[in-house]
Structure formats: structure tokens, C-alpha cells
Amino acid sequence: MTDALFSPATAAPRRAERREAHGFTLVWLRVPLFWRLLGVNLIVVLGGALVGTWLTQRLVLNGSFTPFTHALLVLAALCLSAGLTMLLLRETFRPIHSLREATRRFNAGDHSARATLAPLTDPDVAALVLDVNTLWDRLEADAATIRDKTEQAERLAAQVIMAQEEERRRVARELHDEAGQALTAVIIGLERGLASMPEVYAADLPIQPRQLISNLRDLAAQTLDEVRKLALELRPSVLDDLGLVAALRQYVRATEERSGLQAQLTVAGWDENTDARLPAEIETALFRIAQEALTNAIRHARAQSVQVRLRRTAETVTLEVRDDGIGLGAAQSASNGEHLGMFGMRERARLLRGELVATPVSPRGTLVQVSVPL
């Protein structure tokens, strides 16, 4: 009995019927909305005409055909047509509502949102939904690529800055130890030579030896002072030994002595004796930002006084450098836009997930503020 029911002779026609039904469904799904509506309305009109004619004939023969029954027949035909059309349009345009909802979610930040299709979707609407989904997939892939490239660039920038600081530390140490010691030895030797030389030489000598040695000693002392300043600019050893506050205090004092600028350092929320030091990368970044801001105040803003404020809390450390120069806009106009130093300051802050803001202040001057999370 079972073999007879599922014999190949019986199963083959059924598979053929299923293939025909599936093929009809595929053909119907490929029909555009315009022709679907036209076909549904033609079926409704033709069916309504046939059924209405048959019902009218029966009612007339029965003698029960009245204007009221005629109105009921027309109303039923209209309701049937409207219902079928509404059902078809609802199923057809359902992906558009899904696309609208997915667009709202995508704009809200849910980049995994995608629109879905319905069984009776119009081919043009389905193509639009699929194209939008494909576009979002490409945007997400491009965004992932951009994020990856940005992370690689940030890592590379951090490595470059680290290598730069290491090179600066090495050069500063070489200048301080090798060149500084050599110049110090030269100065001591010249002083000893000057002390052992006679006080008076013949007046007709073209060059007075004592004056020459004295000039060479002064030149060596001046060169030693410049070498020490250069080593301080490159990498102050106090930054590695004592920390950020001591390095800023030394640099502000040296800048004031060197340039005549009135500079003041204020530290808030910081106990150098008990508070732990900041991470080395944060100390270096904040020192370089303060260094660049002071340089800008002297070189570009032509300021007369600068106030440096360092504030530390449990969550952040903030550095502010305020000058009374010609202002941010005028300084950028004089240097044809934002110079490389300002760009470097922003990059250093961004690599530490911090934020740097440079704004003009009243009545004149510029405020550079950087906040770095701890």
C-alpha cells in the first residue's frame, strides 16, 4: 500500500505540479506592481460582472431584485476590490516601511540595521531595498577599513613620537655629558692658562695673548650656555628624574630669563611629595604642548606675559597656557594658517584620547587648553 502511494509513477506528477506552482509563484513575484494591480482589478471586475449578472438574474427571476439589493451588490464589489488592492499594496510596500525603520536605526548609530523583503514585494522596490542594504554593507566595510587604517596611523604616530623622544633624550644626554664636559674642560684650561700668563706683554705685539685667551674663554662659556639651553629644549633631564611639575617650573623660569617674557606657573590639585607621577607618555606630551605654546607666544603672538596653569583631578589633568599676544586669528594670518606646531599639539593630545582647544580671549591674547583623561 505504501509502495503504491509513493511509487515513482505517482510522485512524478506531484513533483511536476509543485514545480509548476513554484514557477507560477516566481513569475508572479517578477511581475511589476502596475501589472499586478491591473490584473487584480481586471479579475475583480470580470468576476464581479459574472457573479453580479448571475445574482441579478436569480434575484430577478425570484422577484426579489430591488434597488436596495442592487446597492448591496455594488457595495460588495467595491469592498472586494478595495480589500484585494489594499492587501496587495500592503504586502508590496511593506519593505519600504522596513527600509524607513532601518534608516532611522542606521542614523541613530545601529549600523547593523538592514531592511527586509516581503513575499509579494514589487521587483523595483525589492531591487531598491537590496541596493540600499548593499550600500550600507559597503559603507560599513569602508568604515571598518578607515577605522583600521586610523588605528594603524595612530600606532605609527605614537611610535614615531616615542622614537623622536628617545632620539632627543640621547642627543640631549650627549650634549650635556660629552659636549658640556668638553667645553667645561676647555674653559678651565683657558682660565688656568690665563692665570699663569704674565700680566704685561710688549705693546707692539699684533695680538695681546691675555686678551685673546680671555675672549676664547668667554666664547667657550657662551657656547656652553647655548649647549645647555639646547639640551634643555631637546629633553630636560629633570622631566625624567623629577617629573612634569619640576620640568615645567624649570622651563618656565629658563624661558623667562632667556626671552624677558613674564611667565608664571600655577599648580593646583598636585602634591609632589605624595601624589604618584603621571605616566611617562602623558608627562612628555603635556611638557611638549606647554613648550610649543610658550614658543608660539614668543615667536608668533609677540606676547609680553604668559600664565601657565596645571590642574590635576582624580579623572583628568588639564594644562592651560594663556598669553596676552596679538591673538589667535592674527597669529594664524601672519603665519598663513595653522602652523605645524599647533598641528603637533593637537596630535599629541589626540593620541592620549585628550582634547586641545585654542581660543582667543578678551581683551587680547590666546588660551591653549588641553585636557587628558587619566
Question: Which CATH number covers residue 249?
Answer: 3.30.565.10
CA 10 to CA 164: how far, in whole Å?
A: 83
Other beta carbons within 10 Å of 167: 12
In a domain, 37, yes or no: yes
Final residue of a domain: which of 97, 121, 145? 121
HSE of 72 in the Cβ direction (CA atoms, 13 Å)?
9
DSSP 265: E
Please tell me the distance from the alpha carbon of residue 139 to that of residue 162, in angstroms, as a whole number.
34
Give the pTM.
Answer: 0.58
Cα separation, 118 vs 91, in Å, equals: 7
Spatial CA neighbour of 195 closest among 212, 210, 215, 216: 210
Last residue of a domain, one of 71, 102, 121: 121
Q: Are strands 262-268 and 305-312 parallel, antiparallel or unpaired?
A: parallel
Q: Distances from the Cα of 187 to the Cαs of 11, 174, 176, 210, 228, in angstroms? A: 111, 18, 15, 14, 15
The verdict on residue 230 lying in a domain is no
- Asked if residues 349 and 285 have their Cβ atoms less than 8 Å apart, the reply is yes
103: in domain:
yes
What domain range includes position 88?
12-121
Long-range contacts formed by 22-30: CB under 8 A, 24+ apart: 29/119, 29/120, 29/121, 29/123, 30/123
- Beta partners for residue 262, in sequence order: 305
**How many domains does the chain contain in total?**
2
Which DSSP symbol is given to 338? Answer: S
Look at residue 335 and tell me if it is in a domain: yes
**Residue at 145 is within a domain:** no
Residue 255 lies in a domain: yes
**Residue ending a domain, choose from 121, 156, 187:** 121
Query: What string of pLDDT tens digits covers the 374 residues of the chain?
Result: 444 433 444 444 445 444 444 443 444 456 666 676 777 777 777 777 777 777 777 777 777 767 777 777 778 777 877 777 777 777 777 778 888 888 888 888 888 888 887 776 777 777 888 888 888 889 888 888 898 888 888 788 778 878 877 787 788 778 777 788 888 888 888 888 888 877 766 666 666 777 888 888 888 888 888 888 887 777 778 888 888 888 899 888 888 888 888 888 998 887 766 667 888 888 888 998 998 888 888 887 788 888 999 998 888 899 999 988 886 655 454 444 456 678 888 888 888 888 898 888 877 888 899 999 88
| Cell output for 276 | 604618584
Residue 171 belongs to some domain of the structure: no
Does a structural domain hold residue 204? no
Cis peptide before 8 (omega within 30 of 0): no
| CB hemisphere CA count around 28 (13 angstroms) | 13
